[in-house]
Amino acid sequence: MTVKGKSNVKLFSRLLDQEEGIFQRLGTEGISHPKVILRELEFPGIQGAEYLSDAIYYCHAKRIPDHRPQTIHVLSQKNYIQLSFCLAGHLKYFNNKTGELIYSLSSGMANMIFYGDQEIRVEYEGEEVFETLVVNIHIDYIQKHFSKIFLGLGTLLRDISGNEPRLISEKGILVSPELRQLLLHFVSKKYAGCFLAHYVEIKIKEAFILLMDSLEEKDSYPTTAQFLKPEDIEKMELAKSILLENFSNPPGLKELALLVGTNEFNLKKHFKLHFGKTAYNYLHEFKMEKARELLASSKKPIADIAEYFGYSHATHFSSAFKKSFGMLPKAYRESNSF
């Protein structure tokens, strides 16, 4: 397994498992007075929340720093499609029976999965802080509210009586800036009013549509392998490593191109083709992600965080952070500190 050192193995008993069978099919009349449950996550070393209604379950989870790493086991349910979003860190999902890797996600990536009836093993790096939002949507709900999209999920939903995990995208889906901002605002907002069910349903529908849009955009372009040679891919990976290792004072594009053995034109072209965004957009998102993690997990002054990530003025950092996440660093820290 990927967790370094000794770790606990623990079954995560979800609300969805405990409340199995509450989904009711009421035809065109819809569902009246749906049962809604929202609670704090009950799992050692993990902080977050769970939500369950008649057709939607979600779990927002992030690892608390300095807690002993664990291997998490989850029992999947075959009547649901899962939307999995990685907001920070890196997660791997295995079929616990066969030991086969089903898929993995790194920060800023997503996927849509039909698991069937399986026990899933989730692993993460020992000292790594991860954050994820997992949404399970009942298949009947998708068919009713997204009939055209449902028909387009033929590959994912073929032989629904089967029991093999299937992915909508083998390589994962790059989360768009719009979707990313929606997700971060959703997990940050502590809404628990009388319209909770409507609020969650609206946001999950929006996230579902944006994810499908990202999938269509991804599929409308050729893959990296169709254009880049292995040596070009290796150069882009090296360029990424250099940028991330020197995030507070990164080299210019011309210097970066020389460092990896290419020219500035090819660097720009190949980097965007390989990673789906420009070199400095990639670096900017990395810095914002790391800043978000620091704000949530430490008491480091915001001015110091700004300086750490290469901003000469805290106001410039605050402006960039708000543009990325929809709120100022101070507000984010207040609502997300461990």
Contacts 24+ apart (CB under 8 A), 251-256: 253/279
pLDDT score of 226 more than 90: no
pLDDT score of 87 more than 60: yes
Q: What percentage of residues in the chain have a pLDDT greater than 90?
A: 26
40-86 pLDDT, tens digit per residue, is 887 778 888 999 988 899 999 988 776 666 678 888 888 888 999 99
Cα 108 from Cα 178, distance rounded (Å): 12
Is the fold of 8-219 the same as that of 224-336? no
What pLDDT sits at residue 242?
A: 94
What pLDDT sits at residue 56?
A: 92
Q: How many alpha carbons fall within 13 Å on the CB side of residue 223?
A: 8
252-261 pLDDT, tens digit per residue, is 999 999 999 9
- What's the chain's average pLDDT? 80
Q: Answer for the pair 275, 240: CB distance below 8 angstroms, yes or no.
A: yes
23-50 pLDDT, tens digit per residue, is 443 333 333 345 788 888 877 788 889 9
Residues in the chain: 338
Q: Which has more pLDDT, 315 or 172?
A: 315
> Which CATH topology does 224-336 take?
Arc Repressor Mutant, subunit A (1.10.10)
User: Can you list the alpha helix ranges (DSSP code H) found in 9-103?
Assistant: 15-18
Q: How confident is the model at residue 218 (pLDDT cuts 50, 70, 90)?
A: low
What pLDDT sits at residue 31?
A: 37
Mean pLDDT of 123-146: 83
SS3 181: helix
Q: How confident is the model at residue 318 (pLDDT cuts 50, 70, 90)?
A: very high
Q: What are φ and ψ of residue 97, in 5° steps?
A: -70, -45
What pLDDT sits at residue 307?
A: 93
What pLDDT sits at residue 332?
A: 86
Domain boundaries, the chain: 8-219, 224-336
User: Can you list the alpha helix ranges (DSSP code H) found in 153-252?
Assistant: 154-157, 177-188, 196-219, 224-227, 230-245
What pLDDT sits at residue 32?
A: 37
What pLDDT sits at residue 154?
A: 58
259-269 pLDDT, tens digit per residue, is 999 999 999 98
Domain 8-219: which CATH number of 3.90.1150.10, 3.40.50.12780, 2.60.120.10, 3.40.50.12500? 2.60.120.10
Mean pLDDT of 150-173: 68
Q: Quote the strand ranges of the chain, DSSP E.
A: 8-11, 37-40, 46-52, 56-63, 70-75, 80-88, 90-95, 101-106, 109-114, 119-124, 131-138, 166-167, 173-174
Q: Answer for the pair 188, 332: CB distance below 8 angstroms, yes or no.
A: yes
What pLDDT sits at residue 148?
A: 65
Q: Answer for the pair 75, 17: CB distance below 8 angstroms, yes or no.
A: yes
107-119 pLDDT, tens digit per residue, is 888 999 988 888 8
Q: Which has more pLDDT, 326 or 161?
A: 326
What pLDDT sits at residue 256?
A: 96
Q: For the stretch 224-260, what's the b/e string if a residue is b when 16 or more beta carbons lie within 10 angstroms of its beta carbon?
A: beeebeeebbebbeebbebbeeeeeebeebeebbeeb
Handedness of CA 50, 150, 109, 77 (dihedral sign): positive
